[in-house]
Amino acid sequence: MVGWAGVLRMPSPDNGINGYHWHYLDGYLDAEGEPPAVREALARLRLLSRGPVFAAPGELVVGALHKSTGNEPLANRTSAHYVQRRVLDAIGAAGAAGAMRKSSLEAGIARLSDTVVDLAFPAGYSEEERLASESGTAMCCHFNGHMALDYGRLLGRGIRGLREDVRRHARRVGAGQKSRDRQDFYRAMEITLDAIAVFIRRHGEEADRRARSPLSGDSPQRLSLVRDICMRIAEEPPSGYLEALQLLWFGMMLGDYDSFGRFDQYLLPFYSESVEAGATGREIQEAMTGLWAKIEEHGAIMSMTIGGVRPDGGSGINPLTLLALRTTRELVRMSPNLCLRISSDSPAALWEEAHRSLTTGQSLPALYNEALIIPLLEKAGVAAEDARDFCLAGCSQVVIPGKSSFGCDMGAYNALKCLELALHDGWDPRTRKRAGPPTGRARDLFTFQAVREAWSSQVRHAVRMGASICNKDSLFRRNFCSTIRSLLTADCLERGAGIFRGGARYYAIQSEIVGLTNTANALAGIRKVVFEDRDMGLEQLVAALDSDFQGHEQLRLKLGNTVQKFGNDDPAVDGLRASISSEFYAELSSHAAEPGGFHWPGEVIFSYHVDLASQVGASADGRRAGTPLSDSAGPAQGTDLRGPTALLNSMLALPQERCMTCCSLNLKFTPSLWTGAREEVLSLFRSYFARGGFQLQVNVVDARTLEEARRNPAAFRSLVVRVGGFSAYFTQLEPRLQEEIIQRTAHGAL
């Protein structure tokens, strides 16, 4: 046994150098000549049967696959191959032997370059696509998207039951090439199930070994319990709550640590079974706390959806809904990314529980209006029972758990960059290259409508480029089976095809649109100073923007302080924001997606508002070059000056029912208002959802506390804030994000 940071690692064959291993890569190379799906399954079998397994002393829920794969040169980023260059760098720094091993490793990677995403792109881009991507106008993130797998099926059938399902479908396959492809798929599924069973069983074997020779911090009784659980669920369906939690965690690990789906719905039968068998509330919560600890240990954004209606339309609120809320607020951590499905008609007690949780300041749960989302999904072609079963994945993206492959976060668009191109006849001032179509020089745009039309032309071009490169990326992924995700996604087994080959029930490509609020504010500024007040010509304004307002401070102050901004219940600018949003949403939705469905617009933002800001110069809303864009679909930072009621009225002007992915809204309240006006705040939220609001995510903190945390991070390690669809520890954020969050308006009055 080798100790590592307090975690114990099982011995495994050392085919690396200085502690580095590449079981998956070796397995993939050794299977050369096998069909792609089988090859991936054999590589996974090699990794899961030989890579180290981890269990910390005292754990009730065990497993940390990310520590096994951390030394792999090929990473699975949603089950596609990516080169972990930090591994190559570390090996290369290990002297002569390391250099030799690195050379050998690079040669191996080169043998499968046609299946490595970050080697293949952007080689497949056209020149127009490359220029659009370089400018930051339209991008593909080479990320097939977050998914919530069918964990209900995993828990209900168990490994043995899934194996029976695979064999039943395989027996129905006839002759011919298409049938041979399906047989290869089913063979890959069987190998994958063998790999999962081996991996789970190895944790039981390790617990058994440790129980016989306990180390400091170990509990022989607890290790024996872990052993019994793992040895049982390696084949059989779980019996009771703790076994279900452990199998669920194995499923999350193997499914790329993504999204739990509707946690309280498919855990309920196992919870009820344990309660009927005499499990105490303390035991139930201890097990949940153990799972929460595993989520926190990994550190990824793992969404977990609770509440809402069941597929049959009945209420899905149950004891696990409330227990998940209570456990999250008592631990005061950033994980899991708890998402509460709720509506204006939900019981007052549930709204009060949400308020109580948000009072901790950890920004959880985020609130999602199912009364808006369910009809939205039905209009998009999702069956009613599946629409009612939606959950959130990634940060805040709407998916159908176990039935959809929506390519969440695959694409990103910068609406403000489109305006910058429109003001420069399609030329990018940063790259000094043409990134968009010629739409007229500033001096030739004689009316505000001409400016709008130039922006629209740039948007159409950007969307055409972005949709094209995202579709190319999707087609490239046909080389991958993504065996575990395909195993737990309907209707892959029924069709004998993986998620990248049309096996899933529902498809789309979800992309985020960043900077729409800034664009509306900038257009309002152009309209005011050029076409209404006639302070200067458009060409002069563009020159001032290109200089980042150097020598034009009075202009910047007018644009920033006297021109009305979105978020203040002003019909003129709110209408402008609604108009350009409708246009961008419609344009993106008009493009077909590979391998099915269409491109869905969203305003989840993530951290793109900071990342993409560096690619946009100063703008006519008074914003300086490189300054962060709006952090959500809401106002730009610090520009909502008339309180939360006015802000929500502005948001209701937007066509949120067409923002398919999610229309996220960050709100920040001072603690005194949040706790002192609880009934008024909840009434405001319920009214917002009743009138068509999509989502709310709340920070309860003031700027002074955030400033103190920035100056003295050691004293504020547990301070959690909402960023752009996810929560994070404030002191661990990069300085640009910290400053952006501080600048958001903290509402102290309604």
For the chain, the domains span: 2-125, 126-146+409-602+614-625
Of residues 385 and 297, more confidently modeled: 385
Q: pLDDT class for 720, splitting at 50, 70, 90?
A: confident
Q: Residue 512's pLDDT is what?
A: 95
More confident residue, 175 or 111: 111
**19: pLDDT confidence band, cut at 50, 70 and 90?**
low
Q: Tokens at residue 395, please?
A: 């940060």
Confidence at residue 85, expressed as pLDDT on a 0 to 100 scale:
85
Region of residue 276 (phi > 0: left; psi between -120 and 50: alpha; otherwise: beta):
alpha
| pTM for this predicted structure | 0.94
Residue 735: strand, helix, or coil: helix
Look up residue 625 and give its amino acid. Answer: A
Sorted by sequence, the CB contacts under 8 Å of residue 89 that are 6+ apart come out as none
How large is the average pLDDT for residues 434-441? 97
The residues facing 411 across adjacent strands are 140, 511
H or E element: which one contains 338? strand 337-342
For the cut 50, the answer to whether the pLDDT of residue 640 exceeds it is yes
Q: pLDDT of 224-242, one tens digit each?
A: 999 999 999 999 999 999 9
- Helix axis angle for 268-276 and 241-254, nearest 10°, is 150
Structure tokens at 687: 């009214």
| Average pLDDT rounded to a whole number, residues 58-78 | 87
| pLDDT given at position 4 | 19
Tokens 């609604």 sit on residue: 578
Over 50: is that where the pLDDT of 13 sits? no
Query: pLDDT digits over 534-545, tens only?
Result: 999 999 999 999
Report the 10 Å Cβ neighbour count for 187.
18
Average pLDDT over residues 328-346: 94
Torsion of CA 31, 35, 38, 39, to 10 degrees: 30
**Could you tell me which of 513, 514, 520 has the C-alpha nearest to residue 571?**
520
Torsion, Cα of 245, 251, 256, 258 (10° steps):
-50
**Percent of the residues in the chain that have a pLDDT greater than 70, as a whole number:** 97
Q: What is the DSSP letter of 532?
A: I
The per-residue pLDDT for 14 is: 39
- CA 273 distance to own-chain centroid: 33
β-strand partners of 139: 412
Answer whether residue 7 shows pLDDT above 90: no
In the chain, DSSP finds a helix count (H) and a strand count (E) of 32, 23
List the single range of 156-165, 274-283, 475-484 with lowest mean pLDDT.
475-484
Question: 3-class SS at 372?
Answer: helix
The answer, yes or no, to whether residue 718 has pLDDT greater than 90, is: no
* Mean per-residue pLDDT over the chain, rounded: 92
The whole-angstrom separation of Cα 364 and Cα 703 is: 19
pLDDT bin (cut points 50, 70, 90) of residue 10 is very low
Determine what percent of the chain is predicted with pLDDT higher than 90: 74
Least confident of 142-151, 308-317, 527-536: 142-151
Is residue 377 within 8 A of residue 387, CB to CB? The reply is yes
Digit-coded pLDDT (tens) for 498-520? 999 999 999 999 999 999 999 99
3-state per-residue secondary structure call for 589-618: HCCECCCCCEEEEEECCCCHHHHHHHHCCC
Q: Token digits for 72?
A: 């792999």
Is pLDDT above 90 for 120?
no
User: From CA 240, how far away is CA 237, in angstroms rounded?
Assistant: 10
| pLDDT at position 94 | 81
Give the residue from 233, 215, 192, 281 showing the smallest Cα distance to 61: 233
Instruction: Say what the pLDDT of residue 717 is.
Output: 80
**pLDDT reading at 5 higher than 50:** no
Residue 642 is classified by DSSP as S
Confidence check: pLDDT of 162 > 60 = yes
Query: In terms of Cα–Cα distance, which of 449, 424, 450 is closest to 437?
Result: 424
Judge whether 613 and 625 are in contact, CB under 8 Å.
no
Which pLDDT band holds residue 749 (cuts at 50, 70, 90)?
confident
Question: Is residue 557 scored above 90 in pLDDT?
Answer: yes
Q: Who wins on pLDDT, 615 or 740?
A: 615
Given a cut of 90, whether residue 95 has pLDDT beyond it is no
First to last CA, the chain: 60
What's the average model confidence in pLDDT over 253-272? Answer: 96
Average pLDDT in the 71-81 region? 83
| Exposure of 262 in the CB half-sphere (CA atoms within 13 A) | 27
Residue 19, SS3 per DSSP? coil
Tens-digit pLDDT profile for residues 488-497: 999 999 999 9
How many Å separate Cα 151 from the centre of its chain? Answer: 18
Q: What is the mean pLDDT of residues 408-417?
A: 95
- Tens of pLDDT along 343-399? 999 999 999 999 999 999 889 999 999 999 999 999 999 999 999 999 999 989 999
* More confident: 312 or 120: 312
Q: What is the dihedral of CA 257, 259, 260, 264, to 10 degrees?
A: 150
pLDDT, tens digit (0-9, with 9 covering 90-100), for 456-471: 999 999 999 999 999 9
Q: Angle at which helices 241-254 and 151-170 pack, to 10 degrees? A: 70
- CB distance 569 to 509 below 8 Å: no
Task: Look at residue 595 and tell me whether its pLDDT is greater than 90.
Answer: no
CA dihedral 635, 637, 643, 648 (to 10 degrees): 20
pLDDT single digits (tens) 176-228? 777 899 999 999 999 999 999 999 999 999 999 988 888 778 888 999 999 99
> Which residue carries 């309604």 as its tokens?
750
Q: CB neighbours of 416 closer than 8 A, spacing ≥ 6?
A: 514, 515, 518, 519, 522, 616, 619, 629
Euclidean distance between CA atoms 244 and 452, whole angstroms: 55
H or E element in which residue 160 lies = helix 151-170
CB neighbourhood size of 322 (10 A): 16
Q: How many CB atoms lie within 10 A of CB 630?
A: 31
Among the ranges given (49-58, 248-257, 392-401, 616-625), the one the predictor scored with the smallest mean pLDDT: 49-58
Helices (H), 318-360: 319-331, 348-358
User: What pLDDT score was predicted for residue 20?
Assistant: 66
CA distance 362 to 698: 9
| Average pLDDT over every residue of 625-629 | 94
Task: Provide the strand spans (E) within 441-576.
Answer: 506-507, 509-514
Distances (CA, A) of 317 to 245, 306, 331: 19, 8, 22
The pLDDT value given to residue 156:
98
CA distance 111 to 113: 6
Strands 509-514 and 695-700: unpaired
Structure tokens at 576: 């402008």
Q: Are strands 433-434 and 720-722 parallel, antiparallel or unpaired?
A: unpaired
Label residue 273 exposed, middle or buried (CB < 10 Å: 0-12, 13-18, 19+).
middle
d(CA 304, CA 324): 9
For residue 601, the cross-strand partners are: 511
Q: Which two tokens stand for residue 339?
A: 């998402």
